[in-house]
A and B are shown apart, each in its own frame.
Chain A
């Protein structure tokens, strides 16, 4: 899956966990954007986002990896890797 397309999918999942006043920040996120510090998200909610992505794409990300996914770039890297393993 193209990185840009995956990013849009993740952004759509993140939206429901974000304060309304923070949602505009989604338009300008980069690989370095930190979910907690830059988007004001709760780290536990990002775990929920990852679980939803797992269910949506039929992939599985190891627990110890999930704990390290603090930026957009890291999240996309891992998901692309898992998707590639599935030939997606």
Chain B
């Protein structure tokens, strides 16, 4: 089995549209959540969202044909391309003219296409203007749109596909890419996920009454995972991208190694035993975490940091209980834990990949991102773990091993462990 390492990172996040700005934001606990007038105009209860409002797509014109760039409307594809191009360059790789690389592939997921774009196409049809629609829409509306663009951009000749597992999508993509390289089916994989800035998706969560409606006048305080007064999550958007390589290939080209992936696992709770379409089964979650740790060969006590899913809903307490049970660590023995979502909101299908990028950056730069907006922690959580484990101020700390998990609608789970690379 091949060892698998991370050699490139890219991100378009609500609080940072590239790795340097994102690193600065997560190190210092800076929020990327904003009031969105459009959500108020739509009479949504939650009128804040984590969106990469500084994002400028003009850089993409350097990499796409004029026709493709001119027709690009999907923020799903735009965010994906920007993040992946940054990761590719960050990895020290070049775009190879007309060559096809059979050893490199891509798994880049999303939940649904950019519904803003879908609406544009639907309106053309409804207005009897389908003949004026143009030719470059299905390539952006198909679920595999982002991965198809990425594959073409870099001449990828291995598997090029898209996964879709709701909020588990991003971490699942990284795990799938890890397994592909570990088994020898590929030498390098582009992995990640993306989520459009679309009120049409956020609105359906608002209708489910799972978004926070209490902080429309104070956006940076709206995402409050683990807080005593958390009242739902804040929707978000963006993309995270990672370049995974087998160790030998990375060393051969003297690549910078950000981390080693030592284990990953994906499962489902089967929507039984308390699990449902929208609620994770505790058994499924614990099995996913326990199996990931077992496959890694490390002891749970070696885990320095948990980068949790923790969205700011009633499920936070159950997640903490599941981590404690799976690791068999409680009180002050529990590892440090944080969640990016207090800064970005919940970027839905993009969340896992953006959070994997954040987890690796923390380990690489020796700091722990603070959880903001949880001055008072839920008592039920403090019944399980010590308050000291929940980092609330920027902290410089050497981290060797970080575990990350995400859980999605459909009762699906993914978990991964990154370790500082040691030759």
A residues 23-79 in Cβ contact with B at 8 Å: 41-42, 44-45, 47-48, 51, 55
How far is it, in angstroms, between the C-alpha of A47 and the C-alpha of B65 when the chains are bound? 15
How far is it, in angstroms, between the C-alpha of A41 and the C-alpha of B70 when the chains are bound? 14
**Judging by beta carbons under 8 Å apart, are A48 and B132 in contact?**
no
**Judging by beta carbons under 8 Å apart, are A45 and B135 in contact?**
yes
A19 sits at the interface (CB 8 A): yes
Nearest chain A residue, comparing its CB with the CB of B133: A51
**Judging by beta carbons under 8 Å apart, are B66 and A55 in contact?**
no
How far is it, in angstroms, between the C-alpha of A49 and the C-alpha of B66 when the chains are bound? 13
Main DSSP-derived SS at the B contact region: helix
**Judging by beta carbons under 8 Å apart, are A18 and B66 in contact?**
yes
**Judging by beta carbons under 8 Å apart, are A47 and B66 in contact?**
no
How far is it, in angstroms, between the C-alpha of A17 and the C-alpha of B136 when the chains are bound? 12
**Known pairs A48-B135, A51-B135, A55-B132; A42 contacts B70 (CB<8 A):** no
Count, chain B residues at interface, CB 8 A = 10
Shortest distance between the CB of B248 and any CB in chain A (Å): 36
B65: contacting residue among A42, A51, A55, CB under 8 A = A42
How far is it, in angstroms, between the C-alpha of A19 and the C-alpha of B131 when the chains are bound? 26
B391 sits at the interface (CB 8 A): no
A45: contacting residue among B67, B131, B132, CB under 8 A = B67
**Judging by beta carbons under 8 Å apart, are A48 and B66 in contact?**
no
Binding site for B on A (CB under 8 A): 16-19, 41-42, 44-45, 47-48, 51, 55
Binding site for A on B (CB under 8 A): 65-68, 70, 131-132, 134-136
Across the A-B interface, give the 10 residue pairs with the lowest CB-CB distance, nearest first: A45-B67, A17-B67, A47-B135, A48-B135, A42-B65, A44-B135, A17-B66, A42-B67, A48-B134, A18-B66
